[in-house]
Chain A
């Protein structure tokens, strides 16, 4: 069987690594990514482990790198991605790296502080420049008011002030000027007014250009303000308030002459500063562009070192023998590669003593490892989402590859919709290299991308079932020519004109090409593939298709459930669980066959035996099934009998089915009970077997247990589980009831195949007749125009409702049929996933240590 059928065979191995070779060996194993290490010191705190200092140094390096990365992002310098994957450098190189990062960080910090100081200086000067410019207009205004005082109709307080200004000597009115954040202005103004009891005059003007906060780098809007007041007490008060609102005050001379002089000085200083700033910026750019070349490689190196030390922390340290002991799960077939990696690691480190790998015996369940590729991983994900398979349990994923898209397509059968879905998936598949390289941000898109092969198959299968249903956007395609002939009915003109619908009676000669036997010259075959296109326009289309699809659903359901049981058989055989095979599996199969299997046989029988001529007297299968359990005798007269001796056959079937119930329920617990009673002898045998094992293995196991008293105390308990008859019995009762009920309910559940298929075809037909048809039925130029406009509506609704929403619902139902109806027959799903120590996952940041 293929590798996907069962998970890889795993084994627990013990590694003895020389302490000087351990780093290189783990590094090689990390590149390989095939070993899952177990934590051998679960009771030791994170900070009490051996290599905690090394981990801490890596943390520190990572922090420095993150700092540099942030600086790069701030300056929008692209990080070079050469795609190469450096191996973890040996520990002695760590010091070099640390020194390098330290130097870079310090350099960067120095540049930053310099730049910040310069920028702050620059900011202050620019603010001063703005103050000088803006206050100029304030002063000019004041001067203007002074001149034209009588004409002004300013608010009262300003007038008062200007009056003061006019009357009192100029020097007595003090003022401060400064800059404040724009959003603080209203509160500032109010507090000023309140605290100074209205005795100050504030003017402010917005500065149009935005500033950059030198510390955070954010852009901020600021306002220039000038406050006039009288007296020293107010001055201190105003200054305090300014301080409270973090306004920066600047000296502003009173005469225009001085202001102009200062302004000129400021301008020259700004220019000087600008050149210095540019130089610092260039220097920063140079440093950063060097960093950008290597930072990705550094990140990978540091992460690898850190991961290695994290792994080493999981190991047991044997001080006496100067070696580290590790335990890991690994696939049996890969042991050679792992050993090769160990040898390589030992050679690289120059250690003289080889590293040893030894298989261990364990009672613990190994992890489940299914090797997937890009095609199968989507399907495996569906199974894993339900539950990770037990170790070496039959994996439903390979069968899901076909059954899942098929069941989906049964509910989604339409050539057109399937084609659109197929093309979408094909696009994803063809451009997968592009998307793999650059992971899409959108979560929904990523989900669809991960399931691209699933969608592709769903599209293909939908086209197939669409051909069978003969539906393309709810229209039929007449490929082979319909097998029905209206002319043969020889309807009179009155009938043709009088009634809206015509009856095509297949009993009439020549109306239906495929009519079975009684017509010797039956004139050929029915429509060779799928449903005859004439049904699309038939009035009784739905009732015919319902009957057909319903029966199909039951048959497909039975087939999938039986297939599930077959897989259960493989599980029992693999586990050598003959008790379950004979006491559970066989009665289960018989029970299912008696109930649903018999029904399916009747369906085929009825299809084969009843034909056009005697279809009037065909018995109802559902009533027949009910009567079977009521032991009502079917008769020809009541049109309930299908074949002779039916009653006897049915009674036998029901009795067999009923007998299966106690078989399932009781035999296994009774046998278990009897076994337990005579357990004394078997246990004795068990001990002998343990002694027979090679002395080496025993020693290792003992050693392991000594180090880890907790597991040692648990292990013997696991080995001999206490037998509790009542528990076994209750468990068996629950499972028997569950199985018996599920035979009925799961079969009924498969009817969703019919229901969703019906819903889909009805919905698409409604969409056609209500939207597209109305567009096509308009005449003339208007019609051309209309059908163009309406087509887009139709297309939008088709994609939105039928493809996305209906597709999602069909997907969910197919998912449910697999998880519940199919997998409940054989799948335990109580395992745990194999998570190997692998650099490729760690470097991508997908694994958080």
Chain B
């Protein structure tokens, strides 16, 4: 199957793959970051970004620049690129790109529901939604009071409906509930995405399953760590673990029994991939947090995905890398804007 798949890949998606690889070359490198961290003002940052693949993306913004404007423009650029890819995608690739969008949709829904719960205005919440995750019915989620409501009235028509099966209940929406919904949705989404990649087979499966398995494990571990000291029961917690990672099934069973950070660490250290991530992490100044380590590992996986040709993984990886890059630039920009240069170097370099 693999060879035949390779043969026809370029016919449908060759152009887009070439495009995305070209985009990837525009990702900032170490040298660029070094220059960025030397900037004194946001104007300097703008000037330097002009010399990179970002070009004149800030040229039409009146001074003085703010971090939020940069953030908005960075995001806009990614969205424009992604939408171009999506509009030219064909067949499987279109489905694949839609899968990428679903995760943003989940985030947006959760954002809106949480916002309404805290009595925020819709007009205030909308600009915070990620533009990749916008869909028609999104803005009406505020009318729902229970999850069943949410599903029956609104989400049943949206592409997220299949992921929602597991979290329908008549309970009122409260903060705890929303977290559970988010994680259940994410779990269903990851599993569906993983299975889809598996079915597609070929190099796409090789690359994507690796990345998604890591994503699933990361979620399991983070959920476990965050659940300590909350009212979430162990059984409920176990239900939130995406069952597609390398921890599945034994690791997840062990994780579900964990009571403290040390036991999570013990479980994870049984797996060669995750062992180094727990080494040398801590909350002391100078140490890297576990989260950063996870991000670094994700970046490595995503960069590696470009080593393989004829597969969709590059699209996913590009979006993720670009997202990381946006986070990095915003981090640096914030550090500059707040004159807090001590931590300016804790971005996650990509290349």
Report the number of A-B residue pairs with Cβ-Cβ less than 8 Å. Answer: 67
In A468-494, the 8 Å CB interface with B consists of: none
Q: Is B153 engaged at the interface, CB distance under 8 Å to the other chain?
A: yes
Q: Which residues of A contact B179 (CB under 8 A)?
A: none
In A139-167, the 8 Å CB interface with B consists of: none
Q: Which residue of B lies closest to A194 (CB)?
A: B153
Do B137 and A191 have beta carbons less than 8 Å apart?
yes
Interface 0/1 of A289-301, CB less than 8 Å to B = 0000000000000
Q: How far, in whole Å, are A187 and B135 apart by their CA atoms in the complex?
A: 11
Do A240 and B59 have beta carbons less than 8 Å apart?
no
In A402-416, the 8 Å CB interface with B consists of: none
Do A45 and B48 have beta carbons less than 8 Å apart?
yes
Q: A241-B143, A244-B140 are in contact. Are A195 and B154 (CB under 8 A)?
A: yes
Q: Is A519 engaged at the interface, CB distance under 8 Å to the other chain?
A: no
Query: Can you list 8 residue pairs at the A/B interface with Cβ under 8 Å?
Result: A46-B47, A46-B48, A52-B47, A187-B157, A190-B157, A195-B153, A240-B140, A244-B141
SS of B interface (majority): helix
Do B47 and A195 have beta carbons less than 8 Å apart?
no
Q: Is A66 engaged at the interface, CB distance under 8 Å to the other chain?
A: yes
Interface 0/1 of A234-245, CB less than 8 Å to B = 000100110111
Q: Is B136 engaged at the interface, CB distance under 8 Å to the other chain?
A: yes
Q: Which residues of A contact B44 (CB under 8 A)?
A: 47
Pick the residue among B62, B122, B156 that contacts A244 (CB under 8 A).
B122
SS of A interface (majority): helix
Pick the residue among A60, A195, A246 that contacts B63 (CB under 8 A).
A60
Q: How near does chain A come to B160, taking the closest CB pair, in angstroms?
A: 14
Q: Which 7 A-B pairs have the closest CB atoms?
A: A244-B140, A47-B44, A244-B139, A195-B153, A240-B143, A194-B153, A187-B136
Pick the residue among A67, A237, A244 that contacts B60 (CB under 8 A).
A67
In A59-77, the 8 Å CB interface with B consists of: 59-60, 62-63, 66-67
Q: Which residues of A contact B35 (CB under 8 A)?
A: 45
Interface 0/1 of A217-245, CB less than 8 Å to B = 00000000000000000000100110111
Do A63 and B62 have beta carbons less than 8 Å apart?
yes
Q: Which residues of A contact B48 (CB under 8 A)?
A: 45-47
Do B47 and A194 have beta carbons less than 8 Å apart?
no
Q: Is B43 engaged at the interface, CB distance under 8 Å to the other chain?
A: yes
Q: How far, in whole Å, are A52 and B41 apart by their CA atoms in the complex?
A: 13
Q: Which residues of A contact B169 (CB under 8 A)?
A: none
Q: A184-B136, A195-B140, A244-B143 are in contact. Are A46 and B51 (CB under 8 A)?
A: yes
Q: Which residues of B contact A241 (CB under 8 A)?
A: 140, 143
How big is chain B's contact interface, by range? 20 to 34
Interface 0/1 of B49-62, CB less than 8 Å to A = 01100000001111
Do B38 and A245 have beta carbons less than 8 Å apart?
no
How big is chain A's contact interface, by range? 20 to 34
In A801-847, the 8 Å CB interface with B consists of: none
Pick the residue among B51, B60, B139 that contacts A245 (CB under 8 A).
B139
Interface 0/1 of A180-198, CB less than 8 Å to B = 0000100100110011000
In B110-159, the 8 Å CB interface with A consists of: 122, 136-137, 139-143, 149, 152-154, 156-157
Q: Which residues of A contact B142 (CB under 8 A)?
A: 240, 243-244
In A239-263, the 8 Å CB interface with B consists of: 240-241, 243-246
Pick the residue among A52, A56, A62, A194 that contacts B154 (CB under 8 A).
A194
Q: Is B39 engaged at the interface, CB distance under 8 Å to the other chain?
A: yes
Q: How near does chain B come to A290, taking the closest CB pair, in angstroms?
A: 22
Q: How near does chain A come to B42, taking the closest CB pair, in angstroms?
A: 11
Q: Which residues of A contact B50 (CB under 8 A)?
A: 46
Q: Which residues of B contact A67 (CB under 8 A)?
A: 60
Q: How near does chain A come to B34, taking the closest CB pair, in angstroms?
A: 9
Q: Which residue of B lies closest to A56 (CB)?
A: B43
Q: Which residues of B contact A240 (CB under 8 A)?
A: 140, 142-143
Interface 0/1 of B66-80, CB less than 8 Å to A = 000000000000000
Q: Which residues of B contact A245 (CB under 8 A)?
A: 139-140
Q: Which residue of A lies closest to B112 (CB)?
A: A244
Q: Which residues of A contact B60 (CB under 8 A)?
A: 63, 66-67
Q: How far, in whole Å, are A184 and B136 apart by their CA atoms in the complex?
A: 8
